[in-house]
Amino acid sequence: MTLLLDLALVAWLLALALHIARVRDDRNAIVAFIGFGLLLGLGWTRLASLDVALTEAAIGGGVTGVLLLRAEAHLRPGKASGASVSHGGKTLAAIACAMVAAGLALAVLAFPSPAPTLAPAAATALPSTGLGNPVTAVLLAYRALDTLLEKVVLILALIGVWSLAPDHLWGGAPSLRPDVVPEPLAYLAQTLPPFGVLIAVYMFWVGADAPGGTFQGGTVLAAMWLLVMLARLRPAPETRRRSVRLVLIGGPTLFLAIGFLGFAMAGGFLAYPESIAKPLIVGIEAALTLSIAATLGLLVAGPAQTAPGR
Amino acid sequence: MTAAWLGPATLFGLCGAALVGIGLFVVITHPGLLRRIVGFNLLGAGIFLVFGAVARRGAGAGFEGDPVPQAMVITGIVVAFSATALAVALLQRLFDLTGRETLEAQPEHLPRSEP
Amino acid sequence: MTPLAAAPAHVATPGGFLLVLAVMLPVVAVLAMLALGPRQTARIALTTLATGLGVAIAIVVELLRTGAALTYVVGGWQPPLGLALRADGLSVAMLAMTALVVAAIGFFAHAQHGLEPTTRHGRAPTTFWILLMAVWSALNAIFVGEDLFNLYVALELLTFAAVPLVCLDGRAETVAAALRYLMFALLGSLLYLLGTALLYGSFGTLDIGLLSEASAEGPGFSVALALMIAGLLAKAALFPLHLWLPPAHAGAPAAASAVLSALVIKAPFFLILRLILDVAPPQAAAYAGQVLAILGAASILFCSVMALKQARLKLMIAYSTVAQIGYLFIVFPLAAGSETLPPWGTIAWTGGALQLVSHALAKAAMFLAAGVIAEAFGHDRISDLGGFGRALPISAAAFGLAGLSLMGIPPSGGFVAKCLLLTAAVIGGHPWLAATILAGGLLAGGYVFRVVDRALATPAIPLAPRKPIPRRLELAALVLALAAVLLGLVPLQPFGFLQLGRPDSLTVIAP
Amino acid sequence: MAPADAFTLLFVTAGAILFLAGTLGLLRFPDTLSRLHALSKADNLGLGLIVIGLLPQCDSVTAGLKLVCVWLLAQLSAATASQLIAGAVYRRKSGP
């Protein structure tokens, strides 16, 4: 029975992917992609990865969808059929891609059995972090350097996006530019955020011991902020504002500072003293959640579109 | 062996392989840059599913999956989103400056399959 | 099968924390720049450049003192669960070279920003400093990373720092070039990531040290390596995946071009080197080496001819980059090693490493000199530069000296590198590669002399700069070019240095 | 079968049938507004029935509360989305 369900899900995912590849209209493809992201979230629950399922649904489907839809609306006036790849080229590409997929499928089927796993190692080390969710332990303890560098990647992407503003607008505010704000949207933007913030805080808080965590919570916060900006209840802030920048770097800075403190307290970079590991990690997560929310929101908002005020 | 065949790990792993193929095809052949960006996301989703299959297969020690690849996927999703945001911003800027949303005189670049 | 049963793969060394500093210092600078705003950016950058150079020197000293690789286990979590950082002789050489080139480029950029007092705290200079710091951090992370997924994150960091550098001036052509670069780079990173997924699925670890000990077999392994190398090739711009590079490197501002061409492009090559030497089983490595060498030779010939045909100076230099990268890839079959001699004992290994470092120095010098020329005359059309040597003697000298190294004329680092590669090709019985090396040298001579000829020409109306060029702007290029030449005077020193921290013999497959 | 399980089975099946009907309506109805109508019916009632059906399966009161929250939030977003779509249809009809 579950096999049937899995098969249906996989077939649906592949059908949507093919639809995205073939359909003419970009908006149609993007809407299909959002659906794809949500279904994929369901797929991740079937793989027993609830943390990933939440992240995929929130970021993969949700925020990426908003970003792409806004881009499509922006580009729509200039729709012109670009130089299409020749028929022969397409066939050749299709063969090459099919070969890659087939090679990959063979490799997936040839994975050794029993599968090599770090689950026992992660479980053994879990008590010394004070956490209950092993994924959070991997992200913030065992492989904390990955997470720290990935935060820098997020900030760098934002620097890159901001650098695309014309010189005289740089440092100004981005604009989400809805043509009209329909009544229901404004209503939603007033009602939903309190719930949304509550859910985000909950997600971040349970993340230490149950599925959830900074990314998921941060994304929900970012979504609430975007909703408020889209409904024009609050304008997007000027990108040069110090308060904005401090929120952006707050999480990574605290992470890095505690990392360096590890030299003094726990004998190494990004090492936590066992007795206070959990409060330190939760503190880092709290700051990261805010920073992620700000970064994601500003990434969607894009480069500055109004000149900075005096 | 048959049990592994029927399990969601193998099934979604194969689904990931197919998604990689489809995403790669969109990235290589589609003339529109926005669609290529969507293609990159499909390709990424496929790769993450392969990680997911690996994670599910590695269940043990009371966990339903190996947490290490799961954490890698979460990191990967965030990086993929950053890439999408940067690409979209570049594309919009290109459009504002030139009024087009394709790379003109785009030379064909089939990625060669290396050994 | 449990990896935990084995003895710890990495033992931290006392100087290991220096590696953390090398990676994290520029990150601290990025965060500080954001916090303190545009007015403080240049000051923070210069402070970091000085400190980072100090850290690099300390790492070199530590390596020479102990004679063993520096290792650090992050957070005390042993691989495979945790991450390790490790720097052997080659990594340390790369770290030191990067620090030197970044510092020189920073010096140039500071002087150049000083020429335009009204915009020095504006968008382009501020963004440049942040991106330069991020590039530096990413490069250091790549040179010392031991974990393939950690290296993926570092590669992405490098991409995100390098792409906006291309379109700092905001012109449509450069935005298009940046977008094309991003597309190639993303495809490359995703293929690489796919490979790591397969490797983890097969071995349950991504630590390079542990992987090299694992018995490497099965389709998963070869598919994974093929995907990773193909992805990295797209980032390294090896022929025929080089199409994105010339417009991107030529369109960027001079200092950014120098960063991209001298440094950024070396990171994917470095990772390919590590994969082939440390991860791939010998047979697969030999096969991959053959293919890479063919592509490398094609790069040398095709892109040298392209460089010869360019009318614009910066495009010429950019094509020359692809050609010179080709030399790095023909090292693989030449440095294949044998049962008695590991790859890093061969002369081709030293030749390859010297080519890597001398190209970085020479290419940075060339782009900076081209930047001075563009600043002085407002264009970089080679045919209209007659007599620029009189107006800008220092830059012309820097360009000529850097050219010596690219051509492989003694006494220069490039000469020693190409001489060693040539010798290895002749001894190893690779006549085609030997012929390619010679032909590449001749072609490089052709395109360098085209410019030098213009520099020495005496046109009817002497060429005059449209604005005064301060000496310090020209200095950085000269220092880098001299360093590239001086590298040729100390040819015997690096042999031992590059072998520090390498295992004594290949133990990839246990009998 | 325990009575709680029978209850769940009954309600979830009913909800699923409503979703099926809603989907059919979405595919078969001729214009946007009636499709919207079919869809919101499925959302409202179908999801509501499923949530009610699942309530007896909850271990704790908080789990039940979460389920009800899911339903409420889905209601809110569905209502807003259908209003927005209807508004867009109206504007397109009356617009230029």
Residues in chain B with CB shorter than 8 Å from the CB of C198 are 50
DSSP state letters, C89-137:
HHHHHHHHHHHHHHHHHHHHHHHHHHT-TTTTTSHHHHHHHHHHHHHHH
Q: Which residues of C touch B43 (CB under 8 A)?
A: 190
Token digits for C423?
């010798």
pLDDT value at C262 more than 90: yes
Is pLDDT at C506 greater than 90 in this prediction?
Answer: no
pLDDT in tens, D11-26: 999 999 988 888 888 8
pLDDT in tens, C323-371: 999 999 999 888 876 666 777 777 888 888 889 999 999 999 999 999 9
pLDDT digits (tens, 9 = 90+) for A51-78: 999 999 988 888 999 999 999 988 877 6
Reported as a pLDDT band with limits 50, 70 and 90, residue C131 is very high
C414 close to C405: Cβ distance less than 8 angstroms: yes
- pLDDT band for position C163 (cuts 50, 70, 90): very high
Residue-wise DSSP of C267-320: HHHHHHHHIIIIIS-HHHHHHHHHHHHHHHHHHHHHHHHHHHH-SBHHHHHHHH
For residue B2, what pLDDT is reported?
A: 44
Token couple for C138: 């990413």
Tokens 């100076």, residue?
C313
Give the residue among C455, A48, A304 at the shortest CA–CA distance from B67: A48
Give D88→chain A minimum CA distance, Å. 9
Min Cα separation A182/chain B (Å)? 25
Model pLDDT, residue C495: 63
Residues A205 and C114: their CA atoms lie apart, in Å, by: 49
pLDDT at position C361, please?
94
CA distances from A64 to A223, B27, C25 (A): 11, 17, 32
Domain assignment present for residue C70? The answer is no
Residue C348: partners with Cβ closer than 8 Å, 6 or more residues away: C331, C334, C335, C420, C421, C424, C425, C428
**Quick check: C200 and B54 CB within 8 A?**
yes
Tell me which residue in B51, B98, B107 faces C243 most closely, judged by beta carbons.
Answer: B107
How many other C-beta atoms are found inside a 10 Å radius of the C-beta of residue D75?
Answer: 15
Cα separation, B69 vs A93, whole angstroms:
30
Distance CA C278, CA C131 (A): 31
Residue C400 sits in which domain range?
305-511
With cut-offs at 50, 70 and 90, classify the pLDDT of residue C507: very low
**What pLDDT digit, counting tens, does each position of A224-256 carry?**
999 999 888 888 899 889 999 999 999 999 999
For residues A24-53, average pLDDT: 92
How far, CA to CA in Å, does C143 sit from each of A78, C19, C91, C93, C151? 44, 10, 5, 10, 9
Q: Which is it for the CA torsion D23, D24, D27, D30, positive or negative?
A: negative
Is-contact C231 C198, C-beta < 8 A? no
- Model-level pTM? 0.93
DSSP state of D8: H
Whole-number pLDDT of residue A84:
67
Mutate to test the interface with C, among B29, B68, B114 (most CBs of C within 10 A): B114
Query: What is the predicted pLDDT for the residue at C96?
Result: 95
Amino acid identity at D2: A
Mutation choice for B interface testing from C151, C200, C229, C295 by most B CBs within 10 A: C200
Query: What is the reported pLDDT for A79?
Result: 62
pLDDT score at C490: 66
* CATH number of the domain that residue B90 is part of: 1.10.287
Q: What is the pLDDT at residue B113?
A: 33
Establish if C439 belongs to a structural domain.
Answer: yes
Helices C123-144 and C17-36 cross at an angle (nearest 10°) of 160
What would the two tokens of residue C242 be?
Answer: 């080089």
Average pLDDT on A259-277 reads 88
- The most confident of the ranges A203-207, C172-176, C426-430 is C172-176
CA distance D33 to D79: 13
Q: Are A93 and B28 contacting, i.e. CB atoms less than 8 angstroms apart?
A: yes
| DSSP string of D11-32, one letter each residue | HHHHHHHHHHHHHHHHHH-SSH
For the residues A255-277, what does the mean pLDDT come to? Answer: 90
Condensed to tens digits (0 to 9), the pLDDT of residues A126-140 reads 888 888 889 999 999
Per CB-CB distance under 8 Å, the chain A contacts of B14 are 10, 105, 108-109
Print pLDDT tens along chain B (115 aa): 444 456 889 999 999 999 999 999 999 998 889 999 999 999 999 999 999 999 999 887 788 889 999 999 999 999 999 999 999 999 999 998 887 777 764 443 333 333 3
Which residues, other chains included, contact B17 with Cβ-Cβ below 8 Å and sequence gap of 6+?
A: A101, A102, A104, A105, A108, B46, B50
Contact residues on chain A for B27, CB-CB shorter than 8 A: none
**Cα-flanking dihedrals φ and ψ of residue C469, to 5°?**
-110, 115
Region of poorest pLDDT, from A14-18, A146-150, B11-15, C330-334: C330-334
C-alpha to C-alpha distances, D40 to A46, C110, D13, nearest whole angstrom: 27, 62, 18
Contacts (Cβ under 8 Å, ≥6 apart) of C209: C9, C10, C79, C84, C86, C146, C278
In a domain, B105, yes or no: no
- Do B102 and A97 lie within an 8 Å CB cutoff? no
Residue C96 CA to residue C91 CA, distance in Å, equals: 9
Report the Cα–Cα distance between both ends of chain D, in Å, rounded.
Answer: 61
Question: In the predicted model, is pLDDT for residue C493 greater than 70?
Answer: no
The single-letter code of the amino acid at B57 is: R
Per-residue burial over D28-66, b = 16 or more CB atoms within 10 Å of its CB, e = otherwise: eeeeeeebbbbbbebbbbbbbbbbbbbbeeeeeeeebee
CB B94 within 8 A of CB C179: yes
Distance from CA of A183 to the nearest CA of C (A): 38
* A128-164 b/e (C-beta count within 10 Å ≥ 16 → b): ebbbebbbbbbbbbbbbbbbbbbbbbbbbbbbbbbbb
pLDDT at C393 over 50: yes
How many domains, chain C?
Answer: 1
Is pLDDT at A213 greater than 90 in this prediction? no
Q: How far is D85 from chain A (nearest CA, A)?
A: 10
R_g of chain B, CA atoms, integer Å? 18
Judged against a pLDDT cut of 60, whether residue C1 lies above it is answered with no
Q: How far is D84 from chain A (nearest CA, A)?
A: 7
Residue A120 scores a pLDDT above 70 = yes
Ramachandran region, residue A234 (left: φ > 0; alpha: ψ -120 to 50; beta: rest): beta
pLDDT > 90? residue C162: yes
Residue of C460 and D66 predicted with greater confidence: D66
Distance CA(C411)–CA(C354), nearest Å, equals 13
**How does residue C129 score in pLDDT terms, banded at 50, 70 and 90?**
very high
* CA-CA-CA-CA dihedral for A11, A15, A18, A19, to nearest 10: -170
D76 with A188: Cβ contact below 8 A:
yes
Checking if the pLDDT of C380 tops 50, the result is yes
DSSP letters for C180-243: HHHHHHHHHHHHHHHHHHHHHHHHS--BHHHHHHS---SHHHHHHHHHHHHHHHHHHT-TTS-T
Amino acid symbol at B20: V
**Listed range (A239-243, C115-119, C137-141) with the worst mean pLDDT:** C115-119
Per-residue DSSP letters for A135-151?
HHHIIIIITHHHHHHHH
Report the domain count for chain B: 1
Cβ(A34)–Cβ(A61) below 8 Å = yes
Whether residue C413 is contained in a domain is answered as yes
Instruction: Say if C463 falls within a structural domain.
Output: yes
Other beta carbons within 10 Å of D74: 15
Helix, strand and coil in chain A, % to nearest 5: 75, 0, 25
Average the pLDDT over C54-78 and give the result.
92
Relative to beta strand C84-87, strand C70-73 is antiparallel
Give the one of C74, C161, C203 whose C-beta lies nearest to A270's C-beta: C74
Whole-angstrom distance, CA of residue C458 vs CA of residue C389: 9
The yes-or-no verdict on residue C388 having pLDDT over 90 is no
Distance between CA atoms of C97 and D59, rounded to whole angstroms?
62
C58 compared with C378, residue with greater pLDDT:
C58
User: Which residue type sits at C422?
Assistant: L
- Average pLDDT on D62-78 reads 88
Main-chain phi, psi angles of A22, to 5 degrees: -100, -30
Complex ipTM tops 0.90: yes
Q: Which run of H or E residues covers position C422?
A: helix C413-427
For chain A, the straight-line distance linking the first and the last C-alpha, in angstroms and rounded, comes to 65
Domain that holds residue B43: 9-98
Q: Is C75 left (phi over 0), alpha (psi -120 to 50) or beta?
A: left
Contact partners, residue C397, CB within 8 Å, separation at least 6: C478, C481
Whether A184 contacts chain D with CB within 8 A = yes
Residue A130 region, left (φ>0) first, then alpha (ψ -120 to 50), else beta?
left
Select the more confidently predicted residue: C283 or B55: B55
Residue A82: the pLDDT is 56
Dihedral sign for Cα atoms in the order A65, A66, A70, A71: negative
